[in-house]
Amino acid sequence: MNSKRIEQYLDNLRLDERDHALDYLIGITAHNASIMSKQYDLKLISDYWDEIMDRNANWNKPVGLAIGLPSLDRFTMGLAPGELIVIGGATSHGKTLLACNITAKLALAGRRILFVTLEMTHAELGSRLLHIMGPDREAESVNIAFQAAEQLDWQAIDGLIARAVKQFGAELVVIDHLHYFTRELRNVAEDLGRITQEFKKNAIRHKIPIILISHTRKGERNHQVTIDDLRGSSYIAQDADIVLMVSRKNETPDRLYVTLGKNRNRNGVQIGSPEAETLLTLDRDTLHLDDPKDGPFPGAVNA
């Protein structure tokens, strides 16, 4: 609306209505000016000194949350605040199963997790998580929260995380899954970029790691997937800090092959090397994923 049309609109109002409308316009203008001015604010390196010194003291050491699966802990070097971690794979290849095992292990360790489930019901997911955690684990189950709403749009995630951090003390967010948010969108590729970018901003804004489950393009079941198989892979690769790709083979359905596709912030396992691949075994009775590789995780720094 241009200035001439605004003047015409105000002229047609009663005096009290005009005063109210002017107050509203002034408020909106001031709010927008405040937002714009913040974009030009400067910060000195000394403003972040404590965090910088802490990171330097723990250079090349695990930071954040330990997953509890030695191979994946070596891959990630911990799930650090502000990071976006993508778990990718084909349908029924174990993405959600892996996320549930990570959630269960952290909950048993006393960590609090917000699990945003958009395909499974809360009861279905809760049953799976308790089955993985084991019998008589009701006390630890209070460390896991779900969103109350059955349907969400991606813009609501920021507010949901803010409330989970403030009221629940959440230390990790799991979102299952990215492509749920693209069902009603027309320009899926472009919107995927906008959504993953916003989720990365959410992680930074609330100083919390976010695990985001992502589908791959359709392909053969025996195909060992890579980061290039993700739907919207170029956008996901750009915004994600860590990418873990999960696949199964027809002849060995109880084995999950996990490959490190990306790790932006760590100097550890080299992408593409044999050390960047691992095999997890599934116990169908307990739904546990076991890591056959020996060697304890050296202990994460609680960031």
For 275, the 3-state DSSP assignment is helix
For the cut 90, the answer to whether the pLDDT of residue 302 exceeds it is no
Mean of per-residue pLDDT scores for the chain: 83
The pLDDT assigned to 36 comes to 63
Concatenated DSSP letters of 212-268: EEEEB----TT----GGGBTTHHHHHHH-SEEEEEEEETTEEEEEEEEEEEESS--S
| Strand pairing class (210-215; 84-89) | parallel
For the cut 70, the answer to whether the pLDDT of residue 183 exceeds it is no
The pLDDT assigned to 219 comes to 60
How far apart CA 89 and CA 73 sit, in angstroms, is 19
Residues 75-118 have pLDDT tens digits of 888 899 999 999 998 888 899 999 999 999 999 999 999 999 99
Predicted structure pTM score: 0.80
The pLDDT assigned to 295 comes to 47
Higher pLDDT, 115 or 223: 115
Range with the poorest average pLDDT among 141-150, 163-172, 183-192, 282-291: 183-192
Task: Tell me the average pLDDT across 162-187.
Answer: 87
Architecture of domain 47-290: 3-Layer(aba) Sandwich (3.40)
The pLDDT assigned to 238 comes to 83
The pLDDT assigned to 68 comes to 87
How far apart CA 213 and CA 215 sit, in angstroms, is 7
Residue 62 DSSP code: -
The pLDDT assigned to 54 comes to 78
Locate all alpha helices (DSSP H) within the chain, ordered by sequence: 3-11, 15-38, 49-57, 70-76, 95-108, 122-133, 138-141, 157-163, 188-206, 233-239
For the cut 90, the answer to whether the pLDDT of residue 10 exceeds it is no
For the cut 50, the answer to whether the pLDDT of residue 296 exceeds it is no
CB 101 within 8 A of CB 67: no
